[in-house]
């Protein structure tokens, strides 16, 4: 696939397919697919909670890739993210839900993460494997992202045993989102969102 041109901040911007990624970029993506390494990448670069030169470099590489590559998937295809909270974190869970409800009511845009975030094309993966909706030890959030911008990494080809998860890394740390709907089912909250362009973040 050749580079695709898209209108970006009033200018034409070209994205490459991920098959054009360098060895360093592919190595960083593969480390992202490992749960422990992914947490270190997020905590080191985006949250500054640990110091690790290898994780910092992986994060820097992945961060730069959103400006170069795109999945070329349908950006109006719903993708999903499941998040679980231990019952001991009930107050945090309730605060997150309250903030989402406020955003819906006030029609304000929000951040959903301060780091890149992994979504999946498979609803059941988000629900069962990540949100753990049937585990009574957790409360669950499931995001459905119904519309998004270009500049995302579809890493199925590099995910090895986890390729079945159809994982997409999105630039959630560089984007804002509008909450479209919130539904509750017991200890599970479903949030429908769409990405809205944030000119300040994308300059």
Looking at residue 203, what is its pLDDT? 46
Residue 16 · residue 6 · CB < 8 Å: no
Q: What's the pLDDT tens digit per position in 102-145?
A: 999 999 999 999 999 999 999 999 999 999 999 999 999 999 99
DSSP states of 107-130 as a string? T-EE-S-SS-EEEES-HHIIIIII
Residue 67 · residue 151 · CB < 8 Å: yes
Between 53-65 and 23-32, two packed helices, what is the crossing angle to 10 degrees? 110
Query: Which two structure tokens, joined as six digits, stand for 127?
Result: 């629900």
Looking at residue 47, what is its pLDDT? 81
Residue 157 · residue 1 · CB < 8 Å: no
CA dist., res. 179 & res. 145, Å (int): 10
CA–CA distances in Å: residue 162 to residues 33, 128, 135: 8, 15, 22
| 47 Rama sector, left if φ>0, alpha if ψ -120 to 50, beta otherwise | alpha
On whether the pTM is more than 0.85, the answer is yes
For each of the chain's 203 residues, which pLDDT tens digit applies? 555 555 444 456 789 999 999 999 999 999 999 989 999 998 887 887 778 888 999 999 999 999 999 999 999 999 999 999 999 999 999 999 999 999 999 999 999 999 999 999 999 999 999 999 999 999 999 999 999 999 999 999 999 999 999 999 999 999 999 999 999 999 999 999 999 976 555 54
């Amino acid at each position: 696939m050749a580079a695709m041109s898209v209108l970006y901040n009033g200018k034409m911007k070209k994205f490459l397919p991920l098959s054009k990624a360098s060895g360093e970029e592919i190595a960083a993506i593969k480390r992202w697919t490992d749960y422990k390494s992914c947490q270190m990448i997020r905590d080191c670069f985006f949250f500054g909670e640990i110091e690790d030169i290898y994780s910092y470099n992986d994060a820097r590489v992945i961060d730069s890739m959103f400006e170069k590559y795109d999945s070329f998937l349908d950006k109006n295809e719903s993708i999903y993210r499941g998040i679980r909270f231990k019952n001991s974190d009930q107050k945090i869970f309730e605060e997150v839900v309250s903030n989402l409800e406020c955003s819906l009511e006030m029609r304000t845009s929000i951040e959903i993460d301060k780091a890149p975030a992994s979504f999946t094309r498979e609803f059941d993966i988000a629900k069962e494997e990540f949100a753990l909706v049937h585990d009574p030890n957790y409360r669950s959030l499931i995001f459905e992202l119904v519309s998004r911008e270009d500049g995302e990494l579809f890493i199925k080809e590099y995910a090895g045993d986890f390729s079945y998860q159809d994982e997409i890394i999105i630039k959630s740390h560089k984007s804002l989102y509008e909450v479209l709907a919130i539904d509750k089912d017991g200890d599970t909250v479903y949030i429908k969102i769409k990405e809205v362009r944030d000119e300040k973040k994308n300059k």
